[in-house]
Amino acid sequence: AQSVSQHNHHVILSEAASLELGCNYSYGGTVNLFWYVQYPGQHLQLLLKYFSGDPLVKGIKGFEAEFIKSKFSFNLRKPSVQWSDTAEYFCAVNIDSGYALNFGKGTSLLVTP
């Protein structure tokens, strides 16, 4: 079955640590890839997206993600996290330019001071 997998459900980091959250998908067609963030008590917000071109995409708040087609992966990275990055992070895939986003289960990130 087609799916989006996020490997880490809960991550705890100290401020200034580097972050990498994994995302793999199992679709074989054309994909558009997204990372969304949900801060406590807030709505889902788009961090970054990949449609085509340079596989390394930069988003808001210092986040970036790399699309590796051969690995069906779209991992999210940030070199130095801040306490304010504490949130739930969701990877999402849109296949074949359709309308629906297929989300992973999310990763809860806690950044400690």
Partner 1 sequence: DTGVSQDPRHKITKRGQNVTFRCDPISEHNRLYWYRQTLGQGPEFLTYFQNEAQLEKSRLLSDRFSAERPKGSFSTLEIQRTEQGDSAMYLCASSLQGSYGYTFGSGTRLTVV
Which listed residue (18, 96, 105, 112) binds partner 1 by CB under 8 A? 105
Amino acid identity, residue 6? Q
Which listed residue (17, 27, 66, 103) binds partner 1 by CB under 8 A? 103
Detail the DSSP E strand segments found in 15-106: 19-21, 24-25, 31-38, 45-50, 56-58, 64-68, 73-78, 87-95, 102-103
Placement of tokens 């970036």 in the chain = 64
Is 99 among the residues that bind partner 1 (CB under 8 A)?
yes
Q: Angle CA(78)–CA(84)–CA(85) in degrees, nearest 5?
A: 35
Is 83 among the residues that bind partner 1 (CB under 8 A)?
no
Residue 79, token pair as written in the block: 């070199």
Residues 15-54 that bind partner 1 (CB under 8 A): 32, 34, 36, 42-46, 49, 51
Least Å distance between CB 20 and partner 1? Answer: 19
Residues of this chain that bind partner 1 (CB under 8 A):
4, 9, 32, 34, 36, 42-46, 49, 51, 90, 92, 94, 99-106
